[in-house]
Structure 1
Amino acid sequence: MRETGENPLFAAYYRSPFGLISILSDSEAIRALSFGYLPGDEQEKPVLHDAIIQLQEYFAGKRKVFTLPLRTKGTPFQESVWYQLQQIPYGETRSYADIAFEIDNPKAFRAVGMANNRNPIGIIIPCHRVIGKNGALVGYAGGLQYKQKLLELERLYR
C-alpha cells in the first residue's frame, strides 16, 4: 500500500500486448495508470478489477471509451487539460494547440504539453492522442514507442 497523504493506494498489474501496466487506486477510483512497474499493495478492489477488464477490452479493440471512476490531483489548468483529453474520440488525434484552443487559452500550447506530460492516468486519459501541430509524434511520458503503438492500435480498430 502506498500512501498519498490522503488515502492509501492499492495496485493491480496487467500484462498488455505492449508490456506491463501498473494501475493504482484508492478504494473508489483510479489514481494512476502507467507502463512499467509502480509499487503498491496488491488488493482485490472492484475498481482495479474493472480497470483490468476494460484494458483487456481496449487492447482487443472492443472498448473505445473507458467508464471508470477517476481521481486526479492537479492544478485547475492541468485538470482542464486532462478533461479535454478525454473528449478526443478514439482513433483521432489533436495537436497541443488544438487542446489550448479548446480550453480557451490558445497561447498555452506549451503549458498544455507540460500538463499532458503530468497526466497520471495514461491510456484512460488519452494523452497519447495529442501530437505536434505538424503531425509528428512528440512527447509521451511513457515513451514514444508506446504512443505510436497505441495510436496504431486505435487506427486498426477504428
Structure 2
Amino acid sequence: MIFDDLVTTTKAMQDLQKKTAIKNNKAMQDNADTKYRLLLTQANHFVDVMVYLYTDLSVPKNHEILMSISELMNVLEQIVASGLASPDGIINADNTFKTLQSSMKKEWSKQYADLTSATVSTLEAIRGIDPDNVGRCLQKFNLQRIGTWM
C-alpha cells in the first residue's frame, strides 16, 4: 500500500517535472521565435531599402554589402532549418545584421553627400533671395545626412 502510494507520487512528480520543462522550453522558444521574426522583418526592410537605393536612385552598388546581405539571408534560413529557431543562431545573425547596418550607414553618408551636393550648392547660391526657406531646406539636408538612413 505505502509502496503503491510512493510509486504513484513519484510518477506524478516526474510528470510534473516534464510538464514544467515543456512549459519553460515553450516560453524560451516563443521568445526565440519572436526575436527571429523581428530580425527577419528588419532584414526584409533593409533589403527593400537597398533595392530602392540601387535601382531607383542608381546609387553605385557595393558588392561587399550585397554579398553580406546574401550571406545573412542564408544564415537566417539555416536558423530555422530544424523547424525551431535557434537562440544562439539568432544572436549571431543579429550581430551580423548590426554590423551590416553600420557598414551601410558609413557607405550611405558618402553616397548622400554625392547625391545632394549639387542641390546644396544651388541652395547656398540662392540663399540671399529667401534666407528663411533656404535655411530650412539646408537644415533638412543636414539632418538627413547626419541622421540614420533607415
Q: Shorter-chain TM-score category?
A: under 0.3
* TM-score normalized with structure 1 length: 0.21
More relative contact order, 1 or 2 (CA 8 Å, 6+ apart):
2
* TM-score normalized with structure 2 length: 0.22
Higher percent of residues as helix: 2
